[in-house]
Structure 1
Amino acid sequence: MVQNEITFENLPKAVAHLVSEVAEIKNLVCKGQNPIVPPKRIPIGIDDACKLIGKAKPTVYTLVRKRLLPCYKNGKHLYFFEDELLAWIEGGKKKTVAEINEEAKAFISEKHSDSSLL
């Protein structure tokens, strides 16, 4: 409810809003759960980023210059977010032999079923 002043005209809306808020609080209390608060994304500096991804500063600067590493620049300083750096690392995953074989089998079976339709 945006308005703090309750008038006779908006009294039903205010009561409905309060009822829904109380129901939500009651639901949380009954479940014994804390309200879900999204985690704060705190930027880290270049030194922490180097430690996190296991690269030297010159390598990180090169990756940033080539726009291969996600970063933010404010003035002369570079900032990074841990979740983005971890996603960058995950993006470089090499497939295992089993994963490659599964993809090959799926590709062959797909092509085989497509050619049988002709």
Structure 2
Amino acid sequence: MENPFEIIMNRLDEIEVLINKIKVNEIEKKELLTIKEVADFLKLTVPTIYGYTHRNLIPYIKKGRKLYFYKNEIEEWLMEGKKSSTRELNIRVNKYLMGI
């Protein structure tokens, strides 16, 4: 019979490998955009993006006189303003009421 502690240690090792793969994938997903690319992506003007950065409304990186943006952070920033549809709200209410 196999030692249960060895089984647990093997499973933990497998989990650790998977977590490391996820971390590497997240780092690789960090696509860096320029202010012009962000403006095009958001369908806004470059001065509007400058205004957002000046008021710290949008996540950005300033290196010297250049501004950079991580695409995934811009996408997350957009989702912060997402409003749930009536259908989505009904699903959340039903899950809450059923204790899910």
Greater per-residue strand proportion: 2
In the alignment, does 2:53 pair up with 1:74? no
Identity of aligned residues (%): 28
Structure 1 segment 1-118 matched on structure 2, within 5 A: 38=25, 39=28, 41-103=30-92
Greater per-residue helix proportion: 2
Q: Deviations over 1:26-80 (max 9, x none)?
A: xxxxxxxxx8853263422110111112211121111111111000001111111
TM-fit CA distance, 1:106: 6.7
- What amino acid maps onto 1:80 in structure 2? F
Q: Tell me if the contact between 2:29 and 2:72 (Cα under 8 Å) persists in the aligned partners.
A: no
Would the alpha carbon gap of residues 52 and 106 (structure 1) be closer, same or farther in structure 2, given more than 3 Å must change? same
TM-score computed with the length of structure 2 as normaliser: 0.59
Which structure carries more relative contact order (alpha carbon 8 Å, separation 6+)?
A: 2
TM-score computed with the length of structure 1 as normaliser: 0.51
Structure 1: runs of 5+ lacking an equivalent: 1-34, 110-118
Distance 1:79 1:56 in 2: 15
Query: What CA RMSD, in Å, does the superposition of the two structures yield over aligned residues?
Result: 2.8
